Amino acid sequence: MSGGRFNHLLRVLWQAVLVSGSKLWEVPTAPLGFSSNHTTSLEWEPQCQYHHLQDGVRITADIPPKLEGNWVSTRCEVRPGPEFLTRSYTFYPSHLFKALQHYYTDSGCEEPTYSLVVRGKLRLRQASWITRGATETEHHLHKVGIVIHSQGVMPRLPARLPSVCVGLTLGGMVPGRLYELYNAQAGRDCLGALGFSMMELGLVRVETQHKPHGGLVQELFLGDVHTDWTKRTYYQPTGYQQPLQNAMHHIHPCPVCALVFRASEQRPPVLPRVPASAPPSLHGRWVSQRCEVRPAVLFLTRDFTFRPDEHSWEGFYHHYSDPSCSQPTFTLQASGHYAQGDPSAKVAGGTEFVFKVTRVSVTILEGATARVLNETRPGSCGKVGGWEVGVEQDITPTDGCTVLGIKLPHKEYELFKTEMDHRWRPLLFIGERPTDGSSPDRPQKRPTSYQAPMVHCGEEDTPTLYHHTNQLKLAASGAKNLPWQPSFVLVLVSLLLLWYDGGTAHSV
């Protein structure tokens, strides 16, 4: 991969939502030290400039990361499938770890079905050449056990299992009792029955947010889980899941953190019931809360505006060459129409949508990419020879752009949900993109999990929709002075990958 050219790590830069206040639950505390000489700090300024968002948050990260401690989910997590779970991972100074994964029947994590307790060893290896800012690891499982909580809903266990798995049948498990699925020393391996994998441990990153008035929030980013169930057990992650938070250094208040921290495999956390949500109200502008890292080495931020009265939408996808989103490469502006469907039958709380992309324009923000596009075949990607740094070009007349994999018009089947965060700000969750780079262009490919949530902007910010794009154009005017200039090969590979729908146009 071209990422081999990256010999230093930069920090993933994101908008941290922090509040003041005392802990709602007590966890033994200890001073947090930074012994690495490779710690850097960055500042994230939110694209939404309004009083509900807090800017100027300093973010640091140790290289290699310090994993010791307990890390917990902050909400009911949704994985492709769908799967609903909460996680509690503990890493010890001896490189040993214990991971608790609690699975549920519902998207609110109110009805636990079974828990997995995983023990093993994790060793840090090297800085990732593929995902800048991440560290690659090597993990070995020692034991994996399962505890059933409900006989009514059993995990995915087949009728026939290897002889070493005798007793692990659909009707033979007693709720509350621990059954061994894997034991490295004894040679027992029944994990294949569950399609279980801890490949997420292959990629790690730890970030520390420093509040302006003191206090810390630490987050652990682990590798993404493949959206295709059959590929999970061998997939090498190149992106991240939603982060876990350090039990000692977390956003306050966090009632879910307390429940997950106190839970065990015999006593899974039962999250508070959330009132049934109304269909999502998309009106207005929504933006990324952080620099987002996706599979296939994608660094971007999103900026969407929805107009329900017109059933229209407009989206900006700002792409970068680094995980801090400080070195812009190009911006995509897409627009079209959408139709709202029924509540999802697979993912409770989600609503189905169909989006149509009818127009896309591209603004190149560094010279090497412009040169690549100027060498494309006439009629395949805008006006040949017309690509200039900082100048927007409409690629709709050429029905998209072949080299970018954009084909117009284009339809996608989506999954949305909205909820309030701990500060009662509206959040928008949009369906997760397929890991293989394909597009949800058929109802059968509709997402069953979500991307990182976007935050709603106040009405007073709507006129500033183009502010961020203009800032990027200004930055592009000095592109030759950027500290990192990609080679022709790197740009070409990036262009083929950065359009993360893998040969199709963006929707949202």
Can you tell me the distance from the alpha carbon of 76 to that of 426, in angstroms, rounded to the nearest whole number? 17
Which pLDDT does position 325 carry in this prediction?
Answer: 86
Q: Which residue has the tokens 């009629």?
A: 379
Per-residue pLDDT reduced to its tens digit, 7-60: 222 222 222 222 223 333 333 333 333 334 344 444 444 456 433 334 557 878
Which pLDDT does position 405 carry in this prediction?
Answer: 81
Predicted TM-score of the model (pTM):
0.79
Q: Is the dihedral of CA 105, 107, 111, 117 positive or negative?
A: positive
Is the separation of the CB atoms in 43 and 53 below 8 Å? no
Considering all CA atoms of the chain, what is the largest pairwise distance in Å, rounded to the nearest integer? 70
Q: Which residue has the tokens 């603004």?
A: 363
Is the separation of the CB atoms in 239 and 223 below 8 Å? yes
DSSP string computed for 269-314: --PPP-PPPPSP---EEEEESB-EEETTTEEEEEEEEEETTTTEEE
Can you tell me the distance from the alpha carbon of 219 to that of 99, in angstroms, rounded to the nearest whole number? 16
Can you tell me the distance from the alpha carbon of 110 to that of 107, in angstroms, rounded to the nearest whole number? 8
Of 430, 401, 268, 275, nearest to 334 by C-alpha is 401
Contacts of 434 (CB under 8 A, 6+ apart): 227, 228, 440, 445, 447, 502
Structure tokens belonging to residue 113:
């079905």
Can you tell me the distance from the alpha carbon of 427 to that of 420, in angstroms, rounded to the nearest whole number? 6
Mean pLDDT split into 10-residue runs, the chain, 508 residues: 29 26 32 37 47 56 90 95 96 97 94 95 93 93 92 57 60 82 87 82 92 86 92 91 93 90 96 76 91 82 96 95 86 96 92 96 93 91 92 95 88 93 86 89 94 81 39 42 34 35 38
Q: Is 474 helix (H, G, I), strand (E, B) or coil?
A: helix
What residue segments make up the domains of the chain, in order of their start?
58-262, 284-457
Of 275, 441, 409, 229, nearest to 336 by C-alpha is 409
